[in-house]
Structure 1
Amino acid sequence: MQIRSGTIDDLFPIVALHVNSWRSAFAGIMPDSFLSGPVADDRLALWRERLASPVRGSGLFLAHDGDGGLLGFAYLLPAPDGRILLDNLHVRPGNTGSGIGTELLRQGLAWAVDEHPAKEVYLEVLKANTRAIAFYERHGARRTDERIARFQQGFELPHFEYAWPMD
């Protein structure tokens, strides 16, 4: 496995993996009407904007297999409150539990320390996504808040905020 920075040329593989990851991880959590329909267009619009006009100070890391296939990705960016948001960490369905997510998380956290010293890294995770919660807790994240996520598609879901303590 190789990890490298992402570029606009990675748009379609990122979107495909992101959509498949959401459909797998959020089945029974997010509305089926969203996951089976507009999620693909939604993720395409998001990643097209992110990759065409990168946020200053953001980092996108892609894990590839030996043949160049995308295995997973992590995306971090500065948040308005001065912290660093781990906004995405996805592993191709069928490859979870193989260490890919751990390596992407390590890469992202190390990058944040180098690029944004003394800035706390945090993430938001749906309350019903217990597998992801267990993963983040195993990797040292601590729950710091609980809120309701409001999706522009018209639904709401409870989520937790997790952060890594600044040592």
Structure 2
Amino acid sequence: MIRIRRAKRDDASAIGRVHVETWQAAYAGLLPDAMLVGMSDVRQSAWWSRVLSDPGEARGVFVADDEDMGVVGFGSCGPARDLPEGLDGREVRVGEVYTLYVEPDFQNRGLGRRLLDALFRQLKAERCDTAILWMLAENPTRFFYEGLGGERVGERIDTLSGVDVEEIAYAWRSLTVPLVRRRLAAED
């Protein structure tokens, strides 16, 4: 049984581990090898511990918690930091999904969709009308977001470990319909 719940401070080490493992699996060949090899569970855990110590930031972090394995996925959200050019933040309040990662052995079980739904519910509770998510343009996970109704709304170049990478933004302009229902409706 895997449940989606709000993260607690003592989840920081598990989130840090999942963060490193999923980055190394998902971004091999997309990001510099030296960057991925140099990632540290200890540094990521310390960073997540700081995030989860701040009540304002912690309320936007959720985990997928397997009763046997512990934390196997996580996601975080909050106010939008960088709006794509095609999205006007003056007309609607925009939130952002900052992270969404599920361990490879637990993918394709609906956990990503459930985590994203929890993040969208949190953004809606914070009075957001729209959500955006930035990701590497070459990441095949983009098809997951497209399948859940994400609309490609922007692109940018970011620099990670001295390498320029293309990123794309997806937006969901309505947070009122749960993602699970959108997915089921799309499959009919």
User: So what's the TM-score if we normalise by structure 1?
Assistant: 0.88
**Is the 8 Å Cα contact of residues 94 and 128 (structure 2) preserved in structure 1?**
no
Q: 1:46 to 1:83 in 2, by over 3 A?
A: farther
SS state of the match for residue 94, structure 1? Answer: helix
Residue matched to 2:11: 10
Which residue of structure 2 lines up, in the alignment, with residue 158 of structure 1? Answer: 166
Q: What are the residue-to-residue correspondences of 1:53-132 with 2, within 5 Å? A: 53-55=54-56, 58-67=59-68, 69-80=70-81, 82-113=93-124, 115-130=125-140, 132=141
Q: Is the 8 A contact 2:73 2:100 kept in 1?
A: yes
Structure 1 residue 55: deviation in Å? Answer: 3.8
RMSD value, Cα: 2.0
Q: Percent identity?
A: 31
Q: Which moved more, 1:103-112 or 1:8-17?
A: 103-112
Gaps of 5+ in 2: 82-88, 177-188
Match of 2:84 in 1: none
Question: 1:32 and 2:40 equivalent?
Answer: no
CA distance in 2, matches of 1:37, 1:2: 31
Deviation string 1:57-100 (CA, Å, 9 cap, x unpaired) is 85111111122611211101112565211001110122111111
Distance 1:8 1:63 in 2: 15
When residues 111 and 160 of structure 1 are mapped into structure 2, their CA distance, relative to the original with a 3 A threshold, is same
Q: Post-superposition shift, 1:150? A: 2.1
Q: TM-score if structure 2 supplies the norm length?
A: 0.79
Which structure has the larger Rg over C-alpha atoms? 2
